Amino acid sequence: MDVVEVVPSVEQYAFTFGGVAPLRRVTPGTALRVWSDDAFCGVLRKTSDLSSEKVDLRFVNPQTGPFFVEGAEPGDTLALHFVAMEPARDWGASAAIPFFGGLTGTDRVATLQDPLPDTTWIYELDRAANTVTFAARHTDLEIALPVEPMLGTVGVAPPGGEVRSSLVPERFGGNMDTPQMRPGTTCFLGVNVEGALFSVGDGHYRQGEGEACGTAVEGAMTTTVIVELVKGGAPAWPRLEDDTHWMTVGSSRPLEDAWRIGQVELVRWFGELYGLHPMDAYQLLSQITETPIANVVDANYSAVVKARKTLLPRAAAYGGLHDDLRRRAAALL
> pLDDT tens digits, residue range 118-133?
999 999 999 999 999 9
Is residue 307 included in any domain, yes or no? yes
- Residues 6+ away with beta carbon under 8 Å from 126: 132, 133, 144
Is residue 293 included in any domain, yes or no? yes
Reported as a pLDDT band with limits 50, 70 and 90, residue 107 is confident
Is residue 74 included in any domain, yes or no? no
Overall size of the chain counted in residues: 333
Element (H, E) at 291: none
Is residue 255 included in any domain, yes or no? yes
- The per-residue pLDDT for 57 is 87
Q: What are the respective helix, strand and coil percentages of the chain, to the nearest 5?
A: 15, 35, 50
Q: Which strands make up the sheet holding 91-96, listed edge to edge?
A: 91-96, 119-126, 131-135, 142-146
Pair 268, 283: CB distance under 8 Å: no
What is each CA distance from 162 to 74, 157, 258, in whole angstroms? 14, 8, 21
CA angle, corner 11, sides to 9 and 15, nearest 5?
A: 105
Per-residue pLDDT tens digits for 216-259: 999 999 999 999 999 999 999 999 999 999 999 999 999 999 99
- The per-residue pLDDT for 87 is 98
Evaluate if residue 109 carries a pLDDT over 90: no
- The per-residue pLDDT for 2 is 85
Element (H, E) at 226: strand 221-230
Reported as a pLDDT band with limits 50, 70 and 90, residue 268 is very high
Arithmetic mean of pLDDT, 153-182: 98
Evaluate if residue 288 carries a pLDDT over 90: yes
Is residue 271 included in any domain, yes or no? yes
Number of compact structural domains in the chain: 1
d(CA 61, CA 41): 7
Instruction: Residue 68: name the closest of 197, 161, 188, 191 by CA.
Output: 197
Is residue 117 included in any domain, yes or no? no
- The per-residue pLDDT for 193 is 98
Domain housing 281: 239-318
Surface-to-core class of residue 5, CB atoms within 10 Å of its CB (0-12 exposed, 13-18 middle, 19+ buried): exposed
- State how far Cα 298 lies from the chain centre: 12
d(CA 159, CA 18): 9
Tell me the chain's radius of gyration from C-alpha atoms.
19
First CA to last CA distance, the chain:
11
Reported as a pLDDT band with limits 50, 70 and 90, residue 108 is confident
Is residue 288 included in any domain, yes or no? yes
Pair 251, 261: CB distance under 8 Å: yes
Is residue 295 included in any domain, yes or no? yes
- The per-residue pLDDT for 218 is 98
- As a whole-number percent, the residues of the chain with pLDDT over 90 amount to 96
d(CA 155, CA 199): 6
**CATH number of the domain encompassing residue 254:** 3.10.28.20
Count of helices and strands (H, E) across the chain: 4, 21
